[in-house]
Amino acid sequence: MEPPFPTHDKTVLIRPEFLNQFGGLFGGYMLQWADEMAFTAASLQFPTASFVTRRFEAFDFIAPVRNGDIIKISSRLERVGVTSCVVAVWCSDARAQSAVFRTSAVLVNVDLSGRKAPIPK
């Protein structure tokens, strides 16, 4: 059995420029950070691959994120196929240790022409 893959973390202080008109975090920022963390987990495991995001599963906030919050976004490679991999991505409030969201992303390795290609081992 393959050993578990390492977890990668990013800590973010939520600042006013990340907020929507209601004082909550713009979801697009969180999606961008989640995408970056999924890419990080896959690329650090397979540094010669050229990953692109194929899709994210449901992306539902469990708790709001507001100005001044400190969040921790984490990612870990979960499964590896021939041309794609699945990366778990989750976020928690760093102070309260409470969940903000949990999802997974599918990333595909592509060649120079943009076609699916085997992940180099």
Distance from C-alpha of 75 to C-alpha of 69, rounded to nearest angstrom:
20
Domains of the chain and any CATH numbers: 7-109 (3.10.129.10)
Amino acid at 25: L
DSSP string, 56-82: E-----SS--BTT-EEEEEEEEEEE-S
Say whether 38 sits in a helix, a strand or coil: helix
User: How far apart are alpha carbons 85 and 83 in whole angstroms?
Assistant: 7
From first to last of the 121 residues of the chain, give the pLDDT tens digit: 455 899 999 999 999 999 999 999 999 999 999 999 999 999 999 999 999 999 999 989 999 999 999 999 999 999 999 999 999 999 999 999 999 999 999 999 999 999 999 999 8
